[in-house]
Amino acid sequence: MTTHSPHSGPLLPSPPRAKQVPHRLERHGHIRIDEYYWLKDRDNPEVLAYLQAENEYAAALRSHARDLERTLFEEIKGRIQQTDLSVPYKLGDYLYYTRFEEGKEYVLYCRKKGSLTSPEEVMVDGNVLAQGYDYFSMGTWKISSGQDILAYAIDTQGRRIYSIGFKNLTTGETVSDFIPSVTGNMEWGNDNRTLLYARQDPETLRPFQIFRHTLGTEPQLDTLVYEESDDTFSVYVGKTKSKRYLLLGSHQTITSECRYLNADTPEGEFQLFQARERGHEYDVDHLGDHFWIRTNDQAKNFRLMKTSLNSTHKNQWLEVIPHRPDVFFEGFELFRNYLVAEERKQGLIHLRMLPNQDGPEHELDFGEPAYLVVLGDNCEVDTPYLRFGYTSMTTPMTIYDYHMETREKILLKQEKVLGGFQISHYQTERLLAPASDGNSIPISLVYRKGFARNGTHPLLLYGYGSYGASMDASFSSPRLSLLDRGFVYALAHIRGGEELGRQWYEDGKLLQKKNTFTDFIACAEFLIQQGYAVPQQLFAMGGSAGGLLMGVIMNMRPDLFHGVVAQVPFVDVVTTMLDPNIPLTTGEYDEWGDPNQQQFYDYLLSYSPYDNLEPKPYPHLLVTSGLHDSQVQFWEPTKWVAKLRALKTDNQRLLLRTNMDAGHSGASGRFKQYEETAMIYAFLLDLTGFVES
């Protein structure tokens, strides 16, 4: 099962293809032969043995840099304040917060009644819940309306299949009710005994049902409230800011639909808010005498509407914030006296305060060339304070309360970075790279001061560019380990995200998806041209759909990058999108295209990383994977690496590291997750010839 590696020393894993019958797939008169299709069988002992062999090979090939890995891990861990406390937020009669204890991997969920001087109540301790599991993740948790029952979701495998447990916060006892195999999405009714929750299809993991559970009853007696029959849609349940209404949403990539129900009567029937229309996306909230709606109806970049409680059809909606072609309306926050608009202009988030009574509106100014602002825990409506977080590539996450009337900004907490970190030692920039079609692609950079644009510094270029997800410039304390060793870190805001509005997303999906890839290449070429990097010192990294990006740019321009890191990469695009029985496929036809239609089949096939591998040299490559990944199935990176081993004509490193106990998000735990980060950083530094002094 092994052959001698082109590298000196370790033995190279080789799948036993001769023992397998190649998989033949025909569609639209085109035949694809997949010699590695058999690797998708998670229960096949040969598959598990192959994964183990790859892990052993990767470990052997990294052994000379093991000391560097350990140094990096301890350094990253050493920057974290081990005993830490989140900023408490008010919800009803209590102040809620989380905290870490020294040396422990998981968080404690706590609260105090009335004020921070009150005795602490530990609602649940993640370290206790995690005992006996190789993987543990705490998902959503919800407090009942009486604030005496906690419902919480846990995942102990990594496939994002949760179980819901309950705890009586008055007695401290675990409630016997237990709901297995759910999505983790849930919401309480206002009767303090009814919980609505979402359940997924056991095969595809598509959330398609909403159930109603009454405390003290068996889960098998739970009532089915709603089932979504369209397999391109998923469902969820939530509650308005006013806590007056429960919301039941159905959504897919470009269409949404909402139903609502008075939360005081959770056993009632949900009412349709606005019937789905293909291409119409809308979100609903409530406060006072109105529903408030963020919608893209006649508004590509979205606008804000409101309507009375008995007139929810869109013909009755009144405009509050109009559509603007140069501003993307991301969201809003409702308060008794203010409306806060979250807007994206020229790629950056702005917060605009609009008084509900007469008075001037105003906007917060953040003063850096690249940053990220996030709305915080704003659970109460009767407050003049807006909670938000601010971070940039040089500024750790900083939490503020902003008084919307006096305009006073109150610093509550800044993430503490140990180890001598000083903001003044680092510099951030914002560049614009020209694309071949005339567009300009923003790039955010950070480096340690003293950097010179002479091509001698290694540069890591990160990209994603899918699902309309905007990759904003934010702080990372682990990243300091690269910056302090001379690396420049660059973030390419390529098409497929929504950094420059909805059109930026639409220009990087479906039959325009290749813009995502050519944008990333244009950013790399621009950074070389401007003296920030040279190909011999240029590295690329991306994960999931960003891993697809890595696979494509390696096929298109293998000469441009010295090394690539592909984390849980989505690389077998055609095979996956042709299989409606695996997670995420049917719900993503409007993102990637449905290959059952020939134009999409041909287009997907033209860039699919797995299908476009060929005999030629490739950059050094590190691939990470999770055996229990529910989003990118483990066999995609596994097959890709196996095929690449057979075809590539170089002696560059090719490592596959599969976490046998985790899923899409990698290892669980506060510190354990950084073992993979240290491995990636050591891989990159080793390729630069770095030697720790």
Q: What's the Cα-to-Cα distance from 248 to each of 209, 266, 330, 432, rounded to whole Å?
A: 10, 12, 21, 41
Model pLDDT, residue 664: 59
> Is residue 629 annotated as a catalytic residue, yes or no?
yes
The active-site residue out of 466, 544, 608, 665 is 544
Model pLDDT, residue 272: 98
Q: What is the pLDDT of residues 415-452, one digit of tens each?
A: 999 999 999 999 999 999 999 999 999 999 999 999 99
* CA–CA distance, 493 with 430 (Å, rounded to integer): 11
Q: Quickly state the pLDDT bin for 690 (edges 50, 70, 90).
A: confident
CA nearest to 637, candidates 538, 508, 550, 579 = 550
* CA–CA distance, 121 with 96 (Å, rounded to integer): 10
CB pairs under 8 A, 24+ apart, for 576-579?
576/633, 576/636, 577/604, 578/25, 578/27
Give the pLDDT mean for 156-179.
92
The active-site residue out of 493, 664, 668, 686 is 664
Residues in CB range of 17: below 8 A, 6 or more apart: 35, 36
Q: Is the pTM of this model over 0.85?
A: yes
Full DSSP string of 259-272: EEEETT-TTS--EE
Q: Would you give the DSSP letter of residue 584?
A: T
> Is residue 664 annotated as a catalytic residue, yes or no?
yes
Strands 174-182 and 186-188, bridge-based pairing: unpaired
Which amino acid type is present at position 567?
Q
Report the alpha-carbon angle 401-407-409, nearest 5: 35
- Sign of the torsion formed by the C-alpha atoms of 269, 275, 279 and 281: negative
CA nearest to 338, candidates 353, 320, 321, 319 = 353
Q: Do 476 and 446 form a contact (C-beta atoms < 8 A)?
A: no
Q: What is the pLDDT of residues 572-612, one digit of tens each?
A: 999 999 988 877 777 899 999 999 999 999 999 999 999 99
Model pLDDT, residue 660: 86
Model pLDDT, residue 673: 86
* CA–CA distance, 405 with 252 (Å, rounded to integer): 39
Confidence check: pLDDT of 504 > 80: yes
HSE-CB for 307 with a 13 A CA cutoff: 18
Give the pLDDT mean for 652-670.
77
Model pLDDT, residue 5: 36
The active-site residue out of 472, 629, 665, 668 is 629
Q: What is the pLDDT of residues 30-63, one digit of tens each?
A: 999 999 999 988 889 999 999 999 999 999 999 9
Domains of the chain and CATH, by start: 1-80+571-688 (3.40.50.1820), 82-122 (no CATH), 426-533 (3.40.50.1820)
> Is residue 401 annotated as a catalytic residue, yes or no?
no
